[in-house]
Amino acid sequence: MRSLAHGDICSIFVLMFEPAPLPTDWPRPPACLPHHMLHMPLENSRVCVAGLVLVRQRPGTAKGVIFITLEDEFGICNVIVWQKIYQTYRRAVISGRLLRVVGRLQRQSGVTHVIAEYVEDISPLLDDLVRLHEPTRAADQP
């Protein structure tokens, strides 16, 4: 095994601690942006987010607009679904437990929203996760 020389250590240090440049082109589907990074893209950037549906709201005063709150392992994301998009992706919006949403980023009064352009129900991935852990769960039972 070769020992590390001073130059190698310096190179590793630079790679580990040099801040990475911010990408100019933000992730596009199917890559999803973690919710804690939604502050990084510019206003009106097209982003893809995914998460468990925590809340669906359709206030009577909102003229058919639906508000969805998604949660991933890093935080929450507010999604706004306009009526035309709702009509196109109705089944996913109503019954999806896990959604992937592509849309434009909007910031208003310190709150970040994703204005939905495309909504996909990816709930079957939850079923795969349960099946994957089925042997572990069976071993835990008496």
68 CB contacts (<8 Å, ≥6 apart)? 53, 55, 56, 57, 78, 79, 81, 93, 99, 101
pTM of the model: 0.71
- pLDDT tens-digit series, residues 90-142: 999 999 999 999 999 999 988 999 999 999 998 888 877 677 666 665 556 66
d(CA 45, CA 27): 10
- pLDDT tens-digit series, residues 79-98: 999 999 999 999 999 999 99
